[in-house]
Structure 1
Amino acid sequence: MSTKHTAVAAVAALAGALIAVAAPAASAATCAPSYLALPADLPDGAVTAADSGGGYAGYGWAVKSGWSITMRAMRWVDGQATDLGRFGGVNPAVTDVNRQGTVVGSAAGRAIRSRGGALEALPTPAGFSGAAAEGVNDNGDIVGNASSTPPDTAPHSISTPVLWPANGSAPVLLTGLPTTGHARAKAIDQDGTVLVEHLPTRDSGSATALYLWKAGTARKLANPSGTVTVRGRDLSNGRVAGETYPASGYDGKGALWNQDGVPSRPAGSAYVHSVNRAGQSVGWSEGTGTWACGGSTPRPPR
């Protein structure tokens, strides 16, 4: 969603109708989209991440001759844009940003982050063909996934969760997860806890379980009843946002897991996109066409 010479701010970055679900103690408020500046040569753009401190990250783009698209990573603070450019001449994907302004994502088969106003590659773990960064916390720890294509899965690659420590030491492969199938890291909390999707077989494309991993130990989250596949979207202060499906890829329902790992379904939501430290979450509900902040309390599992 974009308009000429603007990028839509985080609350309006998702296509479709959005609903916001607050923690029980939160008071109702009104949300309205706002617009962020873009460089003059990038007429369109979108926000893909917020830093919980009023800053955003995403990208701007321009359609060139032949309908090719040129994209550059962007960081916004106080409404002002910093153009982070491309990586190796390739359009970047931006997945997260922290309060220190570190933007992470992927491009050209590499996990990337911003430093000094430009994009740089994170080291790909030995034995893997590529990597992508998915999340960064305020300490600067980055999580993502390394990819490989074993003979039994060719031509399809499998993913292995990886942590790039803030201290600059070598990337660490997450251990303590199920050894069957494969797994995908999705987000990292401030205390270093990582949200991981587990896919039951090496050729699976959909996860059937979510785990919270920390320091080599993984805790499985309970799925709401009727769940066949599940997606993890976000993790903050021990709470998880995502959605579940009764059949792979169809009829999704939003889901939230509290700090005890108990799931609930926000009323009417098709998915829950993010959750913040206070427990407020934002999701999508098909056909509502309305905005609300602090509108309702998650109900118990059905």
Structure 2
Amino acid sequence: MTVKPMALVAIAAFAITVISAPTASAATCTTSYLPLPADLPGGSVTAADSGGGYAGYGYLAKGWSYTAHALRWSNGQVTDLGMLAGSGSDVVVTGVNRQGTVVGWAAGPRGFRSRNGKLEALPLPAGATGAQVEGINDRGDIVGSVSSTPPDTAPWAVHAPVLWPGDGSAPVRLTGLPTTGQAKAKAVDQDGTVLVEHYPSRDDAFGATALYLWKAGTARKLANPSGTATVEGHALSNGRVVGETYPASGYDGKGVLWDRNGAPSRPSTSASLDSINRSGQSVGWSRGGSGSYAVWQLDTLTATLTDHPSVEVSADNGVVGGRSVVGSASHSSPTLWRCG
């Protein structure tokens, strides 16, 4: 699951409250709010497991001071996993699996996973100085990218995709990908397939030109839609990929869905697709009207959320998750929507 920038808005109550949302079109949506720890008034859902659980963050902001903790929700109850020791006061939660292992990264960057109710740093392969973790599957396979600064690119870091196997063995750099430029792992499917972004230059990690699906040492390149200059891969589930492409100049992002055969399509009105579940339900930003977060089933727009939420997650149970404002509050509430 893909994480988006944090916003300051607040939760009204601990108990889960279900209300009818009058702000959805194409389908009726209901909204619910997940509880937060008493000392963290704001938060967001940023990841979902395959069994109805969620993960994200809770935060406290006072003036210029900001503290965020990783959170796990299961059966409507919240567990505070805290921060990664030695990595400042912020965390980015990017994934959670059915066993409840939460993954992400903190300042450094340092990749982490949860174990025994706390966050622990993931080991780095030889030569790496940092890691940014992007996802985990139910087997416990964790993927992300490690960074290093070779003499020929200093002071710019070079990134390489890495798999931390679910069996607990040492991290493995992915092979079978282009040997020029650099690459980042963005997501992992339940069968171990990894979504990889490839960048043609060793000194530029902000303009990927190709996506690959990697599995067991073999990589398959995905076709870009016509007119694509750069591409972002945001999520992978059950063989389908979602993301965003840009033309050669200007900011004009368009959402893309790649089917199980790797063929791309443009879901109706999509500007960016950020998460997809096993059945092909995705969420992202729609260009329709004045612009809003929306839900698609494959290529078809099925719901539009216009109450100023931020939607980041399409869970396997059909729920979409993120954050929203509750009344006139000044913090965000971790929010779930069910549309249909």
Q: TM-score, normalised by structure 2?
A: 0.77
Q: CA deviation at 1:157?
A: 0.8
Q: Answer whether contact 1:229 1:245 (CA < 8 A) is retained.
A: yes
Once residues 246 and 12 of structure 2 are traced to their aligned partners in structure 1, the CA distance between those partners, rounded to angstroms, is 38
Q: Which residue of 1 aligns with 2:106?
A: 107
Q: Which residue of 2 aligns with 1:33?
A: 31
Once residues 115 and 207 of structure 1 are traced to their aligned partners in structure 2, the CA distance between those partners, rounded to angstroms, is 33
> Which protein has the bigger strand share?
2
Query: Helix, strand or coil: the match of 2:233?
Result: strand
Q: CA deviation at 1:68?
A: 1.4
Larger displacement relative to structure 2 (289-298 or 36-45): 289-298
Identity over aligned pairs, percent: 67
Larger displacement relative to structure 2 (79-88 or 282-291): 282-291
Stretches of structure 1 that go unaligned for 5 or more consecutive residues are 10-16, 20-27
Once residues 185 and 273 of structure 1 are traced to their aligned partners in structure 2, the CA distance between those partners, rounded to angstroms, is 15
Query: Helix, strand or coil: the match of 2:98?
Result: coil
Q: CA deviation at 1:155?
A: 1.7
Larger displacement relative to structure 2 (263-272 or 275-284): 275-284
Once residues 45 and 166 of structure 2 are traced to their aligned partners in structure 1, the CA distance between those partners, rounded to angstroms, is 24
Q: Answer whether contact 1:5 1:37 (CA < 8 A) is retained.
A: no
Q: CA deviation at 1:163?
A: 0.4
Q: Which residue of 1 aligns with 2:10?
A: 3
Q: Which residue of 2 aligns with 1:84?
A: 81
Q: CA deviation at 1:249?
A: 6.7
AA paired with 1:156? W
Match of 2:67 among 52, 67, 70: 70
User: Compared with structure 1, are the counterparts of its residues 6 and 179 closer, same or farther at alpha carbon in structure 2 (3 Å cutoff)?
Assistant: farther
User: Compared with structure 1, are the counterparts of its residues 18 and 176 closer, same or farther at alpha carbon in structure 2 (3 Å cutoff)?
Assistant: farther
Q: Deviations over 1:37-93 (max 9, x none)?
A: 1111111111111113221111001013x4110000000112211000011152221
AA paired with 2:10? T
Q: Answer whether contact 1:73 1:85 (CA < 8 A) is retained.
A: yes
AA paired with 1:4? I
Cα-Cα RMSD: 2.3
Once residues 135 and 250 of structure 2 are traced to their aligned partners in structure 1, the CA distance between those partners, rounded to angstroms, is 24
Stretches of structure 2 that go unaligned for 5 or more consecutive residues are 1-6, 17-22, 302-340
User: Compared with structure 1, are the counterparts of its residues 290 and 229 closer, same or farther at alpha carbon in structure 2 (3 Å cutoff)?
Assistant: closer
AA paired with 2:269? G
Once residues 218 and 18 of structure 1 are traced to their aligned partners in structure 2, the CA distance between those partners, rounded to angstroms, is 40
Q: Answer whether contact 1:62 1:70 (CA < 8 A) is retained.
A: yes
Q: Which residue of 1 aligns with 2:329?
A: none
User: Compared with structure 1, are the counterparts of its residues 160 and 278 closer, same or farther at alpha carbon in structure 2 (3 Å cutoff)?
Assistant: same
Query: Helix, strand or coil: the match of 1:270?
Result: strand
Matched, 1:259 2:260: yes
Once residues 6 and 107 of structure 1 are traced to their aligned partners in structure 2, the CA distance between those partners, rounded to angstroms, is 28
Q: Answer whether contact 1:88 1:108 (CA < 8 A) is retained.
A: no
Q: Deviations over 1:192-243 (max 9, x none)?
A: 0000000011112210000000011100000000000000000011100101
Q: Which residue of 1 aligns with 2:94?
A: 95
Q: CA deviation at 1:30?
A: 3.5
Q: CA deviation at 1:107?
A: 1.8
Q: Which residue of 2 aligns with 1:228?
A: 229
Once residues 27 and 53 of structure 2 are traced to their aligned partners in structure 1, the CA distance between those partners, rounded to angstroms, is 20
Equivalent residues, number: 281
Once residues 5 and 255 of structure 1 are traced to their aligned partners in structure 2, the CA distance between those partners, rounded to angstroms, is 36
User: Compared with structure 1, are the counterparts of its residues 150 and 33 closer, same or farther at alpha carbon in structure 2 (3 Å cutoff)?
Assistant: farther
Q: Which residue of 1 aligns with 2:43?
A: 45
Q: Which residue of 1 aligns with 2:20?
A: none
Once residues 232 and 24 of structure 2 are traced to their aligned partners in structure 1, the CA distance between those partners, rounded to angstroms, is 18
Once residues 295 and 161 of structure 1 are traced to their aligned partners in structure 2, the CA distance between those partners, rounded to angstroms, is 28
Q: TM-score, normalised by structure 1?
A: 0.87
Q: CA deviation at 1:247?
A: 3.0
Q: How does 1:1-302 map to 2 (within 5 A)?
A: 2-5=9-12, 30-64=28-62, 66-89=63-86, 90=88, 91-109=90-108, 110-204=110-204, 205-247=206-248, 250-286=251-287, 287-289=290-292, 294=297, 297=300
Q: Answer whether contact 1:30 1:292 (CA < 8 A) is retained.
A: no
Q: CA deviation at 1:190?
A: 0.6
Q: Answer whether contact 1:130 1:148 (CA < 8 A) is retained.
A: yes
Q: Answer whether contact 1:30 1:293 (CA < 8 A) is retained.
A: no
AA paired with 2:91? P
Q: Answer whether contact 1:233 1:240 (CA < 8 A) is retained.
A: yes
Query: Helix, strand or coil: the match of 2:105?
Result: strand
